[in-house]
Amino acid sequence: MNIRTDLAVELVTEENLPNGVHINRRGNAFEITEIIIDSDDHRRTLGKGKGRYITLESSSISRFCDNYEDMAQELAAELKNLLPEGEVLVAGLGNRDITPDAIGPWTAEKILATRHLRNELEDDEADFLKSLRPVSSLAGGVLGQTGIETAELITAICREIKPSAVIAVDALACSDVERLGTTIQISDSGISPGSGVANSRKELSAASLGIPVIAVGIPTVVDMHTIVRNFGDTEIPEGTPNMMVTPRDIDRLAERGAELIACGINLALQPTMTFSDVRGLF
């Protein structure tokens, strides 16, 4: 493949739709494209295995948008459809010290952790808190910081706390610069941390963990060779060094993107909470 992207919507077109691949469109606050791949037969040609890939696109992902609440609620509704009942672990993948890679850790910081409440609260006045779904949150850093593969860390934690599902949040790569900071992808096929920058690690998926893994991410980078190819049939000389390009306002993009994802996750996991309740958390 001549392009590098984590987004299924950039790999599948309705004009040349392979057998066993289906596209559905919907959405109000977002333009939503759902791509369903029936089997792993297309992994070699599309780079995507069996699963559902839901892309939510907006002109801006910002807490200052007029329809921010509608966006958060719509994101929550899409997530809810993929989640089983029971305890959930939210894992923020990436490096909090590198802004284009910080969406995962910054999201994890804003997740309402409730797993400990049932054991710690005894007062009857805390019935509401006890009624919340058990949720735990983790931002374990990257291999270069810890010496531990992200998948190894999450596997060990899942073995101990036994959640019903994992939500893994990470920064993604895209091929179209117009999608930087305007797109959210949700998938039930798992994720390979770092794959967008050709630094993929052990896979996090239902196959590796034995439970559903819902991947959520926002594209924050695009590689220079892909940008050049998108502007025509330009031949890139062999040996030309590549680089990852990120938007000038990446600080704002990552911060607001993490807030929106965290808001959507909290609403999806805790349906008894209102939008105002969730926004009050951060």
Tell me: the pLDDT tens digits for 230-256? 776 677 888 888 888 999 999 999 999
Express each pLDDT in 170-185 by its tens digit: 999 999 999 998 999 9
- Spell out the domain ranges in the chain: 8-274
Q: Are 84 and 167 in contact (CB under 8 A)?
A: no
Superfamily the domain 8-274 falls into: HybD-like (3.40.50.1450)
pLDDT at 143: 76
Instruction: Kindly report the pTM of this predicted structure.
Output: 0.91
Sites in the chain below the pLDDT cut of 50: 1, 196-197
Burial class (CB in 10 A: 0-12, 13-18, 19+), 259: buried
